[in-house]
Structure 1
Amino acid sequence: MSRRAVLKVVKTNYTPSAPWMVRVPPRLQRIERARKKFFAKESIAKAYVERLAKQLGDYHSQALGLSDRQKLEASECYRLLEKHDASLFDAVHHYLTYVEQTKRSIPVRELFDEFLSVKQQDNVSPKYLADLRSKLGRFVNSFHDTLVCNLSVAQIEAWIRSLSIGTVSRESYRRNVSVLLEFGRRRGYLPANPAADIKIRRRPEGEVSILAPEELRNLLSKCAPEIVPYVAICAFAGLRPSEAASLLWSDIHLDTMQIEVRARHSKTRRYRLVPIQPNLGKWLMPFRGKGGAIYYSRRKFREAYKAAGMEKWKMDILRHSYGTYRLPILKSADALALEMGNSPDVIFRHYRRPMNEACASAYFDLRPSIPPCPASNDAPSDARDESFQKKLIQRRQRNAPGTLNADRGQAA
């Protein structure tokens, strides 16, 4: 026969600051979330005992008032919960929590619209918005009317792995979905971010592709004269494709040998000055005095790298080449990170490889054998119109090599 719990106050030596203890009856332990309660004053402990006694009496009266149907239903619930080692109270509490969460939650499509609206208000770059619409658009199409609180880790991971894409792209999709769901979690639409727990195997660190000096010379020789400045800036200044596509000729200062990368065009949203190497100055000098945007054509660039024997253009290969050849010359990850607009950690992970200074210098000794002749007839006639330039820069950001639209165009 089991011992019956006796409600009383006991003085103990467990905790000197709260010596008065009350043992909670087993039937109330789940509700009180404790087996023992400790109090600093005896009077408070006695008041707690009185409350528990009243609560037990109320429960006894309520139990006697249950109908036969309610008793049968409770008995069946206990039978079903027995194999899960859960109480009826746990089951009801879990259900009520779920119901409250679903009332606050919204479908995936509504969360996506709300998320995009906030990003547009934050004035993020057109390239980033296009990437969100593309990747998250596929996610929304698959989970259109699903409440975000009902999304599970298994569902999202299965969806990501069902996509016919590479490892790096899978991680990119997971990251974007995680950003979306984290936005929903902060707004109370779901209790936790399931995408944050998904682990995608990443490409081994440091494996970036670069061009040999002769490969770059061959590429530049195949470029149409009007796109030479864009390619040379990416190769010898290390700008990201979207940053180079956003440049105006007024951002290139050949008198001080510096390139201005404005915060609104930078991936990190930070203003920086990039030095113009002496050989880059030679490539740009014939275009000195031009106005408007740096000219770029996706079609002409594709024709150039295919003519140079490259069937597929590797993302950011010109930027990676710059970082790899520049590090042995600078001998400082901090200085190179300042030029490239990233962190010393990224420099160490991607651009450290066996290379002497003489080999690195050969890359920056590439100069035009015949100065490229600017082809002004290929540039738009209204290139100096400010509103036109803004639209042109946005279009080039989307179509720059290594960006989403550029990859689509090459695949086509």
Structure 2
Amino acid sequence: MNASSPPTAAGSASRPSRAPVYVARAGNITLPVRQYQNRGRPIYTFESKSAAGQRVPTSRRNLNAIKTLADKHATELATSGFQSQAQDIDKREELARQFEELQALTKPLQLSPLEVVKAYLRLTEDLKGVPLAQVVQMFIRAGGVQVLSATVPAVVDAFMARDSLAKKGPDYVKQIKSTLTAFAGQFPGPIDQLALVDIETWLFGLEVAETTRRTYHGRLCQLFSFAQARRHLTRSVPHEMTYVPMPSPKRKKAVIIGPEEMAEALALAQEFAPDPDTLLHLVIAGFAGLREVELQTLCWEDILGDENSSDTPQIVLHEDQVKTNTSARSVEVLPTLRAFLKPFRLAGLTGPVFSVCDIKHKASNRLPRWSALKIGLADTQAMPPAKFVWKRNFLRRGFGSYRLSTLKNVDLVTHEMGNTDFVLLTYYTTPVFEPIADRYWAIRPGEGYHERVRTWLSSSRWRRQRARRVKIVAEARAARMQSV
């Protein structure tokens, strides 16, 4: 019987005899066996220590049985002791060998072995038994010492030539190239010699909005991370952009177009615009939230759903149409937008929605803005000035704010606008009283709208513009699809 402690039944146990009844010996290990009295019967016990240093007694009623166990246990302890001593000797020899290797490895680095050992001891728990010499070799192989020197313009060229960047939208590539080219023009020397103060002086000295400065900061971080991956910067320490503070633009209230202003703009476009492009720009951007770059490639085939059906149509934007080519998305054609698009869709139009957005020519690669409404799109027509000032992203911010006020669903509005929830709530929306949102979505075409659309579509001038536009968009879309 094993016992965790000598038996001490009340009134029946006695003190052990002074001398052991047997001593098991093996090497320098001795285990004395002592006799106890329990309920008038003898019981024999010896004690040993566990790996944690605790006393562990072993007891038997039979003397021969306890002798056998004591001899066996003493032999095991003696054998393990010799092995432990041998292992200690092997460890000391291994440490001496590693220290010699460490001296040879650290000599060209001008580091003392003591400094490396201190750093190693601080990382012992994370290294989980990896030999010290192996750690130093890993450090050198990782590029912690040797750097492949390269100038900033060369790194920018390599960064822009990446395959992953070629899959992005052309506007995104153009913007990031403009930023990095300006940076390379300011710093033509090796990228590993750039000082933190020089980068900060350039970034915070630009006369741009804080939001734009924040965007530039992110692009420079991408460039420096790319250089570090290509071993143009030391991998063992963070690159300089890690310590450049992130610009924190003050959040401004998003200025949106009001229901009355939208109605006024649509009335002016319907009455004075010589073609439907201005009105289509207003209704699609204002009631679907599309970006200008997405409007430029929008075709009537992208508006899915039968106009005579009760099903809700959708605008589907594919990977080659969205801003950053991240993923396709769809936007529901709400009743307001559906009412304005109905005569165009019933006419069976195909191809590009807009006829005057010539994406081949830089001077005319933008859709008509509010300035076009104020001065008139035709030289022979005068347009009365609006009663309000047009703001940047007026229509898109209005769509996001009114849509969020109605749906109360950030995830759905984020998907429809193609932004993250942070960007949506920070830059593109403002709290709107729900009755005001209801007035915005209650806007409908004015009297004589269908006749005006028929006049536009029968215009020979518009037909000629559209024929040229169909060819240009087809060529541009084919080129973009090849790059996706």
Question: One fold, TM greater than 0.5?
Answer: yes
Q: Find the aligned partners of 2:217 and 2:279 in 1 and give their Cα distance.
A: 36
Does residue 259 of structure 1 match 2:303? no
The residue number in structure 1 matching 2:153 is 109
| Coordinate RMSD, CA, aligned | 3.7
Does residue 278 of structure 1 match 2:364? no
The residue number in structure 2 matching 1:47 is 93
> Residues 368, 189 of structure 1: CA spacing in aligned structure 2 closer, same or farther, 3 A cutoff?
same
Q: Find the aligned partners of 1:170 and 1:40 in 2 and give their Cα distance.
A: 65
Partner SS state of residue 247, structure 2: coil
> Residues 182, 282 of structure 1: CA spacing in aligned structure 2 closer, same or farther, 3 A cutoff?
same
The residue number in structure 1 matching 2:415 is 338
Residue identity opposite 1:389 in structure 2:
A
Residue identity opposite 1:338 in structure 2:
H
Does residue 134 of structure 1 match 2:211? no
Q: Find the aligned partners of 1:112 and 1:211 in 2 and give their Cα distance.
A: 40
> Residues 155, 278 of structure 1: CA spacing in aligned structure 2 closer, same or farther, 3 A cutoff?
same
> Residues 263, 100 of structure 1: CA spacing in aligned structure 2 closer, same or farther, 3 A cutoff?
same
> Residues 344, 169 of structure 1: CA spacing in aligned structure 2 closer, same or farther, 3 A cutoff?
closer
The residue number in structure 1 matching 2:219 is 176
Gaps of 5+ in 2: 1-50, 53-84, 111-142, 307-311, 358-365, 376-384
> Residues 311, 263 of structure 1: CA spacing in aligned structure 2 closer, same or farther, 3 A cutoff?
same
Q: Find the aligned partners of 1:380 and 1:120 in 2 and give their Cα distance.
A: 34
Q: What is the CA-CA distance between 1:140 and the residue it aligns to?
A: 1.2
User: Which structure is higher in RCO with an 8 Å CA cutoff and minimum separation 6?
Assistant: 1
The residue number in structure 2 matching 1:381 is 467
- For residues 186-236 of structure 1, the C-alpha deviation after alignment (integer angstroms, 9 at most, x for no partner) is 222112432233224323346322111122223333443323212211100
Contact 1:230 1:245 in 2 (8 A): no
Counterpart among 276, 291, 294 of residue 350 in structure 2: 291
> Residues 185, 310 of structure 1: CA spacing in aligned structure 2 closer, same or farther, 3 A cutoff?
farther
Counterpart among 210, 228, 246 of residue 256 in structure 2: 210
Partner SS state of residue 330, structure 2: strand
> Residues 250, 212 of structure 1: CA spacing in aligned structure 2 closer, same or farther, 3 A cutoff?
same
Partner SS state of residue 316, structure 2: strand
- Identical-residue share of aligned pairs (%): 26
Q: What is the CA-CA distance between 1:179 and the residue it aligns to?
A: 1.5
> Residues 181, 54 of structure 1: CA spacing in aligned structure 2 closer, same or farther, 3 A cutoff?
closer
Residue identity opposite 1:303 in structure 2:
A
Q: Find the aligned partners of 2:181 and 2:100 in 1 and give their Cα distance.
A: 57
Q: Find the aligned partners of 1:125 and 1:312 in 2 and give their Cα distance.
A: 27
Contact 2:400 2:428 in 1 (8 A): yes
Q: Find the aligned partners of 2:96 and 2:287 in 1 and give their Cα distance.
A: 81
Residue identity opposite 2:204 in structure 1:
R
Shifted more, 353-362 versus 41-50: the winner is 41-50
The residue number in structure 2 matching 1:233 is 284
Q: How does 1:295-334 map to 2 (within 5 A)?
A: 295=354, 296-297=356-357, 298=366, 300-301=368-369, 302-304=371-373, 307-308=385-386, 313-314=391-392, 316-334=393-411
Q: What is the CA-CA distance between 1:337 and the residue it aligns to?
A: 2.2
Partner SS state of residue 467, structure 2: coil
Bigger radius of gyration: 2
The residue number in structure 2 matching 1:219 is 265
> Residues 267, 196 of structure 1: CA spacing in aligned structure 2 closer, same or farther, 3 A cutoff?
farther
Q: Find the aligned partners of 1:246 and 1:169 in 2 and give their Cα distance.
A: 25
Q: Find the aligned partners of 1:214 and 1:53 in 2 and give their Cα distance.
A: 81
Q: Find the aligned partners of 1:50 and 1:335 in 2 and give their Cα distance.
A: 65
Contact 1:327 1:351 in 2 (8 A): no
Q: What is the CA-CA distance between 1:347 and the residue it aligns to?
A: 4.2
Q: Find the aligned partners of 2:175 and 2:256 in 1 and give their Cα distance.
A: 25
> Residues 313, 137 of structure 1: CA spacing in aligned structure 2 closer, same or farther, 3 A cutoff?
farther
Residue identity opposite 1:361 in structure 2:
D
Partner SS state of residue 320, structure 2: helix
Q: How does 1:136-155 map to 2 (within 5 A)?
A: 136-144=180-188, 146-155=189-198
Q: What is the CA-CA distance between 1:319 and the residue it aligns to?
A: 1.3
Partner SS state of residue 111, structure 1: helix
Shifted more, 192-201 versus 251-260: the winner is 192-201
TM-score by length of 1: 0.67
Q: What is the CA-CA distance between 1:164 and the residue it aligns to?
A: 1.5
Residue identity opposite 2:334 in structure 1:
Q
Does residue 160 of structure 1 match 2:203? yes
Residue identity opposite 1:135 in structure 2:
T
Q: What is the CA-CA distance between 1:160 and the residue it aligns to?
A: 1.0
Residue identity opposite 2:260 in structure 1:
E
Counterpart among 193, 198, 222 of residue 244 in structure 2: 198
- For residues 249-276 of structure 1, the C-alpha deviation after alignment (integer angstroms, 9 at most, x for no partner) is 1111352421111122223522222111
Q: Find the aligned partners of 1:293 and 1:335 in 2 and give their Cα distance.
A: 27
Gaps of 5+ in 1: 1-15, 18-38, 63-73, 75-96, 396-412
- For residues 106-131 of structure 1, the C-alpha deviation after alignment (integer angstroms, 9 at most, x for no partner) is 11111111111115763211101110
